[in-house]
Amino acid sequence: MPAKNAAQWLEPPRVPETHYVSGAVYTDPAIFAEEREKIFFRTWRMACHESELPAPGDFRTYDHVGMPLVTVRGKDGRIRTFLNVCSHRGATLVQEIAGNVERFVCFYHLWAYDTAGTCIDIPREDGYAKTGLRKEDCGLREVRTETRLGLVFINMDDAAEPLADFLGPALDRFENVMSHGNLEVLHYSRQVLKANWKAWMETNVDAYHTFMHVGLRKTQVDTTRRITVYPNGHTGGGGQKMTYANYAGWANRDQSLALPGLDATEMRTVHLWPNALVLSRGTIIRLDTIVPIDIEHTVVEFRGLGMKGDTPEQRRQRNSHHNQFWGPLGRNIPEDAFAAEACAMTFGPGAARYQTIARQENLTAQDDAGLRNFYGEWSRRLGRPYHNPSNRT
């Protein structure tokens, strides 16, 4: 086929409208503002794993698309989340990234809150006697928090559907693997991408790019993959058997290290809409949380999950299994980051106008059904067709 002239380049691909995406979904500031309100402030976001908050008083702070949050295990054992904002004059309440507290004490005027978010101390409280301000009216703003299979999720929307309804059966393939309470986070890292948040989801939902990764080209046969499309934009995959020894310097994985319910050679994945991944490679689980900083910068948090109680040698091997593909210098993460940023570089200035998501292989192998499912939910939530998002539905 000949190269295209300028006008031809602007034409959409000659495939059904459901099979291509307009570049405006990455670059239009109005769309990004709507995503914040209609997606990130209304759907469930994976925040951390419960093993990161093992004891009463353990907390973690983090950003949710500009909203400062703190998740804490209360004295009663329950995990709750609050806006990390003091109700006195709005200062950031908790300054540390993680730690353990008896109670939260604001640095500014020393108002104090218990781990259930109740205001429990106001210095020289009688100074408010004439104005009617009462401690019991000064609690923190609680953010809905629910767990599934040890994964802690938050939702900014008090009226949102329960987590179980939102997830539906999407995590069922990890039921046996993650329900026993013996998993813990053994790896944490984070990376800032110069790319729109959706680019990281795409490069993970996209099964066709297996060929980009030398490590995958050598160790896995993609035609055995089976893809399951779930309601609410979630997609699952798996079935591939990995032959790690095909890669020079690597060995096949020993079944003695396999996680409960998994074969050590097996790959299993779930992409949770809008911004989380749960992936397993038999002996290790990877969790990604993808949160935009702005329209063209994204933070990806990576967690690796393994078994509690490993011997030092088992842990060394499990860490090695994690890092071969999923460490910051592994055979997947830097390559996927390069792909996401390479697309961002062209869509940002308007050089690229569309991307096609047109592969159909009956939900096997390298079908783009997961990408169409992701964008179908995006369109439903925003009321904008992804092939032409300026045309509201």
Q: Note the residues at the interface with Fe ion (CB under 5 A).
A: 336
CB of 72 to ligand FES, least distance (A): 17
Alpha-carbon distance 221 to 252, whole Å? 15
For residue 254, the tally of other CB atoms under 10 A from its CB is: 13
CB of 249 to ligand FES, least distance (A): 55
116 binds, among ligand FES, Fe ion, none (CB under 5 to 8 A by kind): none
CB of 87 to ligand FES, least distance (A): 8
106 versus 186: smaller Cβ distance to ligand FES? 106
91 versus 185: smaller Cβ distance to ligand FES? 91
Nearest C-alpha neighbor of 268 from the set 244, 239, 243: 239
CB of 116 to ligand FES, least distance (A): 18
Contact 206, 358 (CB under 8 A): no
Distances (CA, A) of 129 to 124, 133, 135, 139, 160: 10, 7, 11, 18, 38
Contact 132, 122 (CB under 8 A): no
Burial of 99-137, coded b for 16+ CB within 10 Å and e otherwise, reads eebeebbbeeeebbbbbbbebbebeeeeeeeeeeeeeee
CB of 101 to ligand FES, least distance (A): 15
Contact 196, 345 (CB under 8 A): no
**Which helix (H) or strand (E) element contains residue 165?**
helix 163-167
92 versus 320: smaller Cβ distance to ligand FES? 92
Contact 101, 57 (CB under 8 A): yes
CB of 301 to Fe ion, least distance (A): 17
**Which helix (H) or strand (E) element contains residue 73?**
strand 67-73
Q: Which of 108, 128, 211, 338 binds ligand FES (CB under 6 A)?
A: 108
187 versus 381: smaller Cβ distance to Fe ion? 187
Judged by phi (left if over 0) then psi (alpha if -120 to 50, else beta), residue 181 lies in left
Q: Which stretch binds ligand FES (CB under 6 A): 102-110, 154-162, 288-296, 338-346?
A: 102-110
Query: Would the CA dihedral through 34, 49, 146, 85 be positive or negative?
Result: negative
CB of 267 to Fe ion, least distance (A): 12
Q: Which of 67, 74, 91, 209 binds ligand FES (CB under 6 A)?
A: 91
User: Which residue number is nearest to Fe ion in terms of Cβ?
Assistant: 336
Alpha-carbon distance 168 to 195, whole Å? 30
Question: By CB under 6 A, what part of segment 109-138 binds ligand FES?
Answer: 109, 111
Q: Which stretch binds ligand FES (CB under 6 A): 83-91, 126-134, 201-209, 372-380?
A: 83-91
By CB under 6 A, is residue 89 in contact with ligand FES? Answer: yes
86 binds, among Fe ion, ligand FES, none (CB under 5 to 8 A by kind): ligand FES
By CB under 6 A, is residue 83 in contact with ligand FES? Answer: no
By CB under 6 A, is residue 86 in contact with ligand FES? Answer: yes
| Number of helical (H) and strand (E) elements in the chain, helices listed first | 10, 19
336 binds, among Fe ion, ligand FES, none (CB under 5 to 8 A by kind): Fe ion
Binding site for ligand FES (CB under 6 A): 86, 88-89, 91, 106, 108-109, 111
